[in-house]
Amino acid sequence: MMRKLFKGLVVLTLVGIMASGAFGYDLIDDDLQDDGVARLIPEFDGHVTLAPNAKGDVLIYPFYMAADGWETKIQVMNTSQAHSVVAKLVVRSFNHSQELLDFFIYLTPADVWTGMLRNVNGSVRMQSCDDSTRNASGQWGNGTTVCMDRALIGATCATDSNTAGYVEIFEAWHSDPSWMGSTWAGGAYPYPTFFPNPIQKTLLYNWFLDGPEHSSGPYANLTPADIILQLNGLNNEIGPANVLAGHSELINDQLNVRAPVQATILEDYNVNDYLELGIETYFSHLFSTNSICEVEAALSKDNVSVPYYNIPANKQTYYWFTFPTKLSQAYAMNCTCPANSARSPYFGYDCDATSYGWRYFDMTEQSPSTPHPEFSPIPPGEANSFPFEVNLFGVTDVIYEEGWINFTFPHSTTCNPAEWIADPYQRIRFSGAPVIPTTLFFDFYTNDNCPTECATSYAISFMPAAYDQALVEYDVDGAGAVFNYAPIDHYHYEDN
């Protein structure tokens, strides 16, 4: 019964998911240290971090499912009552992060957008009747009958699929009426501070896509691309709004279950390019004041700790491990990956799997290799690897019914922030892996009348993992082939 009803997870197992401001280190080269030596000191100015308040400018929904009765609801909230935000949504596949669909969401103040990824007769589709998106005919959703209904493209590689993957949201542009009367480059900010209240979606859409609002007056000859590049890129006067929040819900109406999952949210990623449809948007210094190196450092974790239940009769645990910076499809050639062509520093510029160790314990600290531990530290766990961007891990091989698992990522990565992207001597170094771990609990109960009258009830729930954030360091010398690294305090959550 369990295997039949949770066929979606079994299918994913068969296809291979399951495994057994500017960033700116604004450098000051004449600061004296305690030892009297002048060194480069990183002064942070809005580098990308995890958002401790769950609001930011990049949202990562770590997985979706759209097969065998499972569907995934995606929700994006504009938590500001002043800012309007245009955001780009990108759907990616589980194995190679292939871009399967992208479109813009137009969020007026206090606005919420909702969409569903579901399988309709074998076609995986994004469906939404929300009034923050437009359908293929250019009509805004009306909540009921006028809807967007877009098919995801099929995955290119046979080992990949569009029935599972992950979703990203990038803040592309925002406006705030408080800028009225402010100055920029000797004149007024060329932003649509004149929007009426309530703000009309059409005005927001026209402004971002260079509509009639740019045809005359103080905005003439200024395209949205001009404005974004000048303000965010060259002058860096306008950073991100950092007002987006969101979550997903995994739903199965056949089992009458659903459970929410908090999106992983980054703040101050700071897109400084004009994002367009038809041009892939991904983590890169080409689109942001932060490089993929800095995103990986913010996401990296050394140890991940999660609880488990392994009771086949009524309780089981699974884990998703998502690596949103691997992006292997970007450099896959005939579904193989050549060396030295990837976007990700952590993954060694090829399609390497992610190495990890894991060790599990029961409720009395016993482990298979250390059944009666008397000394610490306990030896490192068994070495394994996660091969894909989205990996599902089960605990069917665990010999205990309840306990916890420690996953370790013994790796160190050296790479360049955006400001030093071409400088071989200006680097940061981070430990661990840029992973998003999520725990899924399955509960299922059968009444006492089986086998004559069986009635099974199901429940699912999610929880985030506990983890040790990675050590992030910078080269204190900043020149020469000999690197001397020192820790950067509070890198993941706040600036110094």
Q: How far apart are CA 337 and CA 353, in angstroms?
A: 12
Indicate whether 236 belongs to any domain: yes
Greatest mean pLDDT among 18-27, 158-167, 474-483: 158-167
Q: Per-residue pLDDT for 23 more than 50?
A: no
Q: How many helices (H) and strands (E) does the chain have?
A: 5, 31
Mean pLDDT value of segment 350-371: 81
Domain annotation covers residue 492: no
Domain around 188: 2-487
Q: What is the pTM of this model?
A: 0.86
Distances in Å between the alpha carbon of 255 and those of 68, 361, 440, 462?
Answer: 11, 31, 16, 16
Q: Which residues contact 225 (CB under 8 A, 6 or more apart)?
A: 210, 274
Could you read off the pLDDT of 68-122 as tens digits, one per residue?
A: 999 999 999 999 988 889 999 999 999 989 999 999 999 988 999 999 999 999 9
Q: What is the reported pLDDT for 278?
A: 83
Q: Which pLDDT score, from 0 to 100, does residue 302 have? A: 92
Average pLDDT on 248-252 reads: 97
Give yes or no for residue 234 having a pLDDT over 70. no
Please tell me the least confidently modeled range out of 33-47, 123-137, 226-240, 377-391: 33-47
Strands 390-394 and 18-19: parallel
Question: Burial code of 357-392, b = ≥16 C-beta within 10 A, e = fewer?
Answer: bbbbbbeeebbeeeeeeeeeeeeebeeeebebbbbb
Instruction: Quote the DSSP letter at residue 333.
Output: B
Q: SS3 string of 90-135?
A: EEEECCCCCEEEEEEEEECCCCEEEEEEEEECCEEEEEECCCCCEC
- Write down the H helix ranges in 271-373: 292-299
In the predicted model, what is the mean pLDDT of residues 58-68?
Answer: 97
CA-based angle 66:71:75, to the nearest 5? Answer: 115
Residue that is written with structure tokens 């005005």 in the block: 203
Task: Tell me if 88 is assigned to some domain.
Answer: yes
CA dihedral (111, 168, 5, 447) in degrees, to 10, reads -50
**Please, which pLDDT band fits residue 427 given cuts at 50, 70 and 90?**
confident
> Mean pLDDT in the chain?
79
Would residue 451 count as lying in a domain? yes
- Residue 246 lies inside a defined structural domain of this protein: yes
Any domain includes 106: yes
Which pLDDT does position 408 carry in this prediction?
A: 92
Angstrom CA distances, 300 to 43, 307, 388, stand at 21, 20, 17
Question: Tens digits of per-residue pLDDT, 292-343?
Answer: 999 999 999 999 999 999 998 889 999 999 999 998 875 565 677 655 555 7
The whole-number pLDDT of residue 131 equals: 95
Domain membership of residue 273 (yes or no) is: yes
Is the pLDDT at 229 greater than 60? The verdict is: no
How many structural domains compose the chain?
A: 1
Other beta carbons within 10 Å of 457: 13
- pLDDT of res. 373: 45
Kindly report the backbone phi and psi dihedral angles of residue 339, in degrees, each rounded to the nearest multiple of 5, phi listed first: -70, 155
The residue among 215 and 416 whose pLDDT is bigger is: 416
pLDDT over 90 at 140, yes or no: yes
For residue 96, tell me if it sits in a domain.
yes
The residues that bridge with 322 in the sheet, in sequence order, are: 390, 436
Does 18 have pLDDT greater than 90?
no
